[in-house]
Structure 1
Amino acid sequence: MIAFLFALSNAHFAFAQEQNNPPAPEPPQSDPAPAQPDPAPASQPEPAKPEPAKAEPVQEVSVRGDWLGDATDKRIKSYPGARTVLDETALHKSGARSVEDALRAVPGVRVHDESGLGILPNIGIRGLSPQRSEQVLILVDGIPINVAPYGQTGLSLFPVTLESIESVDVARGGIAVRYGPNNVGGVINIHTRRIPKKLTLGVGETVHMGADGRLLSATYARAGGYVLENLGLQAQLVEEAGTGYRPRSGTRVDNVILDADWKPSKENRLTGRFQYYKADTDLPGALTPAAYESNPNQSQRPFDRFEGDTLRGSASWTLSSGDHEFTWTNFVNQSYRSFEFGSPITAGVPVTARSTSPRHFFVVGSEPRYTVVFDAAVHHKLTVGARYVHEQLGYKSDVSTFATGQYLVDNLWDFHDNALAAYVSDTLGMLDNRLEITPGVRVESLGLSYRDQQTGKGTTNVTNDVLPGISLGYRVAEPVFLYANYNKSFRPVQFTQITYGGELRPESAINYEVGTRISPIPDLTVNVTGFGIDFRDKLEFQGTNIGFRNLGRARHLGVETTVKAALSKQYAVEAGYTYLDTEQLGGKFPGNELPYASHHQLSVRARYAVRNFTWVVSGTYQSSAFSDGENTHVETPDGTKGPIPDYWLWNTQVTRQFDVGPTKVRLALAVNNLLDSRYYFRSVSYSNGRMPGQGRSAFVRLELEL
């Protein structure tokens, strides 16, 4: 695996515009239990019962340099910021069809699922735009999932399938010191299933049933375990095929993940991952208001479709000894994605041409990190690290006119960048470590380059930024934890923005939180967080003659509250509420609210478990919002602008787990959008108008594990 990664990272950038080849990043893990974020050891074993050691047994390292740490209840209760972990119940027992479905329940998170299948999610946090998930950092086991983490943060390829996911860790607020660019709203770290300690074979089949009898099946297979006491291997396969809930939603997804974890000695651990992912789907697209009222499940977009694939690989070496830990993580991906769509892109308008937008990406990154724990005047946990990322993008857009047969290449561009970052943080423990203060700073240097293959025109953009941060956590008493943090975050200038020229600075934001986490009794936890985002230097398009300029500024203020209570062994409830107030302070519409920024969000979940049965009912509410910065109150006839109405969504799932001889069996039946609520959002990228949400649907799932 390591040899493969380094050979690939040194390979010449030879993807031609007409080729669809890809190579790869990401680290491993497996089996219901949370993992870890920050580029850290890819795959971890399940906790094992003590056994007599032969070779060096797998065990946790003593010093952890990743900032979030394991997503355990104990760790979360002492985390100095707002944080939510979606566990086994939230992901696999609450009626969620996809990771995006489950994320709706997280306070402050807004989700627009463009495909209705979880393939093209649009995720925003705390009033930041959800379009293409451009303003949230999404990781898989600590590795950035974006096809270009610096130069193109838009998530136009999402190589994640629910079946291979173990938990999702959502840390809101800015934590740029450890994680770098594009985490103004926070970090979403998706944990894949860890390699089980014992050899495990598993298969599963899920059949989704939508409107008019449309079926989508998801097949899952898994084989893994420790073939030697210090060597774990795992293979996972997910295949989805069928149709979504609307016409023109035929879909095929393949996801293959191979993990390895080797501990040759007590001090050394090597982990690695290889992934191949491919998605091919039709996009039913948006509707005009009249068409939506007539039949929200129809499609007015006969030519829209998406395809993409990626090869991703990662390898990590951890050397730990006493109070020292050194981790070196490397990742690489080669990806392709293309949208095909009818022009014009407004629903209901006759299509006169077909356009495509193929993109080819190559990304390689390396991050060494060293952590040491020591006592001086106070207790210290000092971490220093650096990261290098190189990105290349082949960018093409073209159009074929139906009437004349004319074919025109609009753009044929090449981009590349080199990003170098260094960071240091020091957690100071005082008052018997009941008080922890962590100051830190990150320095980012990024150079972007652009060249037009048709005209020879080119330009460059250089960014140097300093990102300071500080967090404070204080355990007043065992049941009461107070926290506060202040961070500067940034989103780099994007590849396509530099094509217009001009002096452009990265978008920046000041993030701050103040909150408390209270557990008056062991089975009750209450969390209250006040937060703010001062978003500055937002890049706004000023027309083709000017391009982009740093003119925008916005303020986000709000409160998030969560309550978790285990009423008995059978009953448990959770609830979350977010109040958000936003205001544009600059740009074209000062004084207006930000688009897609609902004032109120509510989520509730109740679980009843008895014997082998678990019954979960969950609901999410999103209040109304504007879809544009102009705050258009009256919907336009084509549906591209106007308010987005509020809506409730209710899901329910019944799960039974039992044994048949040595085989563990799980059988589940779920109903999504139980009350068949009608809801929609507006205009995503290549489709303007009302984008319908999914009506009532159901799925049945059968899983076997040996």
Structure 2
Amino acid sequence: MQRSILATALLTALGLQLSVAHAETAATNSSDDNIDEVMQIIGSKQDAQKLPGSSAVVDAEQITIEANTDINQLLKTVPGVYIREEDGQGLRPNIGIRAASGGRSSKVTLMEDGVLIAPLPYVDPAAYYFPEAYRMHTIEVLKGAPLLRYGPQTTGGVINMITTPIPQQNRGKITTKFGEHNTQDIHAYYGGRAGDFGFLIDTVQRSSDGFKDIDRSSRDAGFDIEDYLVKLSWTGERQSLLAKMQYSEQVSNETYAGLTDKDFAENPNRRYGLSEIDQMDNQHKSFSLTYSLDLTDASRLSAIAYRNEYHRDWFKTSTSSFINAANAGDAQAQAILDGTLDVQDLTYTHGDRTYESYGVELNVTTLLADHTLNVGVRDHNDSLDRYQPKEVYDQINGSLVFDRIIEPTGGDNRLEGGDALSLWVTDAWQVTDALLVNLALRYEDVDTYRQQFATPERADTPSYRSNNTQEWLPGASFTYDLNNNWQVLAGVHRGFSPIGGGATETDEPETSTNYEAGVRYSNDWFVEALAFRSDFNNQAEVCSLASPCSNGATSGTFVTGEAVVQGLEFQAGYEWQAGEFNLPVNFNYTFSDAEISATNPVTGVQKGDRLADIPEHTMSLRVGVEHDSGWNQYVVAKYMDETCVSVGCNNNTNAFSYTDSVFVVDLISRYPLSNQATVFVKVDNLFDQQRIVSRTPHGARPNKPQTVSLGLEYSF
């Protein structure tokens, strides 16, 4: 409480100082009146091409064209982003950026409308909840030193998802899509303004039977999702207020169970009968209140209060021991998976957890001559209640028969929490017409704890552990215009990843020094080439059942020690005109080299061991053939190289240490029926290329097969 009062007093005093400061130029407002600048971290595609740090914007046009419900597929078109698919439907993404590995997206800062959205950003950031991509208006990805304005994860990058803005005039839109596997996707919104007041009602309704078939079961492998969003705004002469409320619920018959390689080769879309009763059930609520005040013509105060609540129960079994044994040739393990051999004491866990996070963030932006200053503070709180009973079943004649319940103790019965105070100062200094320098300093003060109970009733005195981390995170970057077309840029910053609720007093967070440098060309073409490098003092993996660490641990962290991730990002875009046709082309490629840089005798990793989850090569190509009639065709091709399942796969001969490389092509055809209505056909995975895109959790897992869908957009 004292720290919260101190933070508020600090920024209040700072705001008063800035409000009376003399400034020669006016504060900059958002280039899009529909989107409050507080919600944005980049802005438009054009803004992304000028920042003193690498960045990308997946804009509303691309999202509309590709009609993607899967965030993974949209982000595969961004350089420097690595995706490890899991369920083939994008329900729980594993996103990595540069040196930040992708397990449950826990090393990436995730935001929605500029607000932290991971379940517990400091204590347990694993993204078992992820916002519906289908309701997003824009997706921003920020890398390099400018990301220090945000956080807490500052190594790889920040992903900010911007929801549907409140329209300037009363209007709405419905997008429907129906496809194979009884898939139905609907996104609808209506909003507008009346005088100083605005409103928006937005909903996503999705359902599917899934593309997998469960052995000996009539149950589908699909999902049902409902998502609702309401925004209310008021705009005064020099101030504005925006209230946002969101609720969603999801029931998905998803599992941790993959396949053996032999079974995958025969049918990648098979699911073992052992996983028949596996199911994820979750609900998410979020609330935020954003206030903006123009203190002077040159300074603005923004204040955000937010709260996120998330409850999930993922009821699931572990098949890893059977799959590993069957892969090694154990016929009995294979028979258990096939359902032809009876087995007792199969354990199914209720992954029952309740998350709450809330905070207040204050920021003042001011223009002082050639400087744009941001000074801010955030006070944030995380709490987790983990109470996970187990159910025991027997497999008899291929069917599951209930036996008993095991009440939770130890790791299944615990409380975790944390408080974090963040401070930042950034300065965008226009030194000359050609030189822009960005300076940033961030401070993180994080307290975490864990209480673990030995009895189900929590009547005992719990074991206790705690950790305090304090880190200063400096950064600097610049752009320099060589002429009207060519620009060079470079930057360096300190990376940081919070250590989580299970840390002890002696544990230290993951830290790194991150560099980037490159060149941009902008005329009719846009071309950008960037080299990046991250030097880790103590690179660490976050362990979970969904993403076991390289040492096999499923909780806590596995510190591998010194490591280097380096590579090259390249992107290019151009639009050709040919008579009645417009031909936009966008290409990106990323090369990454990620390895241990010093032998660690404690953990056993060796210098030269490849890191997990970071592919060497990724690529995407987006090509459009747009006709004056409005009948447009688009092709999106995406490639990702094989990855290591655990550290050091390059130094062993285990065939199960790698995923497969995968190349997928999507085709979209759009035709306008009128000024208000457009019909489209989409074919995901046109050539039906299914590969082992992940081996975690628990076995080989495929990407989505060829899937055809038909959609309609109607604006009113």
Separation (CA, whole Å) in 1 of partners of 2:405 and 2:50: 62
1:478 corresponding residue in structure 2: 484
1:318 aligned to which of 292, 300, 307: 292
Report how far residue 477 of structure 1 moved. 1.5
2:562 aligned to which of 519, 531, 553: 553
Separation (CA, whole Å) in 1 of partners of 2:187 and 2:440: 42
Report how far residue 72 of structure 1 moved. 4.0
CA contact (8 A) 2:69 2:133 kept: no
CA contact (8 A) 2:479 2:488 kept: yes
The farther-off stretch of 86-95 and 269-278 is: 86-95
Report how far residue 625 of structure 1 moved. 2.3
- Say which structure is richer in helix: 2
Say whether 1:679 aligns with 2:691: yes
Say whether 1:517 aligns with 2:520: yes
Report how far residue 556 of structure 1 moved. 0.7
1:28 corresponding residue in structure 2: none
Give the TM-score taking structure 1 as reference length: 0.84
1:184 aligned to which of 149, 155, 178: 155
Any residues of structure 2 matched to 1:347-386 within 5 Å, and which? Answer: 348=323, 349=333, 350=336, 352-375=346-369, 379-386=370-377
Say whether 1:136 aligns with 2:136: no
1:583 corresponding residue in structure 2: 595
Separation (CA, whole Å) in 1 of partners of 2:142 and 2:419: 27
CA contact (8 A) 2:510 2:540 kept: yes
RMSD: 2.5
1:57 corresponding residue in structure 2: none
Separation (CA, whole Å) in 2 of partners of 1:67 and 1:667: 31
1:445 corresponding residue in structure 2: 445
1:604 corresponding residue in structure 2: 621
CA contact (8 A) 1:384 1:425 kept: yes
Q: Deviations over 1:647-685 (max 9, x none)?
A: 21000101122426xxx102110101111112122333x
Say whether 1:655 aligns with 2:670: yes
Secondary structure at 1:177's aligned position in 2? helix
Separation (CA, whole Å) in 2 of partners of 1:550 and 1:596: 16
Report how far residue 203 of structure 1 moved. 2.0
Separation (CA, whole Å) in 1 of partners of 2:45 and 2:660: 37
Any residues of structure 2 matched to 1:687-706 within 5 Å, and which? Answer: 687-706=697-716
2:260 corresponding residue in structure 1: 288
Relative to structure 1, the CA distance from residue 239 to residue 138 in structure 2 (aligned partners, 3 Å threshold; closer, same or farther) is same
**What amino acid does structure 1 have at the position aligned with 2:384?**
L
1:493 aligned to which of 494, 499, 504: 499
Say whether 1:613 aligns with 2:631: yes
CA contact (8 A) 1:178 1:423 kept: yes
Secondary structure at 2:563's aligned position in 1? strand
Relative to structure 1, the CA distance from residue 346 to residue 126 in structure 2 (aligned partners, 3 Å threshold; closer, same or farther) is farther
The farther-off stretch of 564-573 and 145-154 is: 564-573
Separation (CA, whole Å) in 1 of partners of 2:467 and 2:652: 40
The farther-off stretch of 336-345 and 146-155 is: 336-345
1:328 aligned to which of 303, 323, 327: 303
1:31 corresponding residue in structure 2: none
The farther-off stretch of 415-424 and 111-120 is: 111-120
Q: Deviations over 1:36-74 (max 9, x none)?
A: xxxxxxx989648xxxxxxxxxxx99xx7888442241x
CA contact (8 A) 1:682 1:688 kept: no
1:220 corresponding residue in structure 2: 187
Uncovered stretches (5+) of structure 1, i.e. residues with no partner: 1-8, 10-42, 49-59
Report how far residue 186 of structure 1 moved. 0.6
Any residues of structure 2 matched to 1:180-329 within 5 Å, and which? Answer: 180-209=151-180, 214-228=181-195, 230-247=196-213, 248-265=220-237, 267-283=238-254, 285-300=257-272, 301-320=275-294, 321-329=296-304
Say whether 1:117 aligns with 2:89: yes
Q: Deviations over 1:627-652 (max 9, x none)?
A: 1113067786xx8x322221210001
Secondary structure at 1:92's aligned position in 2? helix
**What amino acid does structure 2 have at the position aligned with 1:166?**
H
The number of residue pairs the alignment matches comes to 627
Q: Deviations over 1:479-532 (max 9, x none)?
A: 11211111112111111x32xx4511111121111011101x3x2100011111
2:386 aligned to which of 395, 413, 422: 395
CA contact (8 A) 2:88 2:703 kept: yes
Relative to structure 1, the CA distance from residue 65 to residue 667 in structure 2 (aligned partners, 3 Å threshold; closer, same or farther) is closer
Separation (CA, whole Å) in 1 of partners of 2:318 and 2:488: 54
CA contact (8 A) 2:147 2:158 kept: no
CA contact (8 A) 1:196 1:226 kept: yes
Uncovered stretches (5+) of structure 2, i.e. residues with no partner: 5-28, 214-219, 324-332, 337-342, 395-402, 455-459, 542-548
Secondary structure at 1:101's aligned position in 2? helix
CA contact (8 A) 1:218 1:240 kept: yes
Separation (CA, whole Å) in 1 of partners of 2:165 and 2:322: 44
CA contact (8 A) 1:161 1:255 kept: no
Q: Deviations over 1:158-216 (max 9, x none)?
A: 13231x1112111223545211211311111111121111111322211121xxxx211
Separation (CA, whole Å) in 2 of partners of 1:280 and 1:470: 45
CA contact (8 A) 1:174 1:489 kept: no
**What amino acid does structure 2 have at the position aligned with 1:468?**
P
Q: Deviations over 1:426-474 (max 9, x none)?
A: 2221223x21112221111111122123352112111111111111111
Relative to structure 1, the CA distance from residue 406 to residue 225 in structure 2 (aligned partners, 3 Å threshold; closer, same or farther) is closer
Relative to structure 1, the CA distance from residue 45 to residue 547 in structure 2 (aligned partners, 3 Å threshold; closer, same or farther) is closer
1:571 corresponding residue in structure 2: 583
Separation (CA, whole Å) in 2 of partners of 1:313 and 1:44: 23
Report how far residue 551 of structure 1 moved. 4.7
Report how far residue 113 of structure 1 moved. 3.0
CA contact (8 A) 2:211 2:222 kept: no
Report how far residue 549 of structure 1 moved. 6.7
Separation (CA, whole Å) in 1 of partners of 2:375 and 2:67: 42
Report how far residue 699 of structure 1 moved. 1.2
Secondary structure at 2:495's aligned position in 1? strand
**What amino acid does structure 1 have at the position aligned with 2:380?**
V
**What amino acid does structure 2 have at the position aligned with 1:368?**
L
Relative to structure 1, the CA distance from residue 44 to residue 158 in structure 2 (aligned partners, 3 Å threshold; closer, same or farther) is farther
Separation (CA, whole Å) in 2 of partners of 1:406 and 1:436: 63
**What amino acid does structure 2 have at the position aligned with 1:279?**
Q
**What amino acid does structure 2 have at the position aligned with 1:624?**
E
Relative to structure 1, the CA distance from residue 526 to residue 161 in structure 2 (aligned partners, 3 Å threshold; closer, same or farther) is closer
Q: Deviations over 1:123-175 (max 9, x none)?
A: 1122532111111112111111101111111111113231x111211122354
Secondary structure at 1:292's aligned position in 2? helix
**What amino acid does structure 2 have at the position aligned with 1:180?**
G
**What amino acid does structure 2 have at the position aligned with 1:381?**
T
Secondary structure at 1:290's aligned position in 2? helix
Say whether 1:341 aligns with 2:316: yes
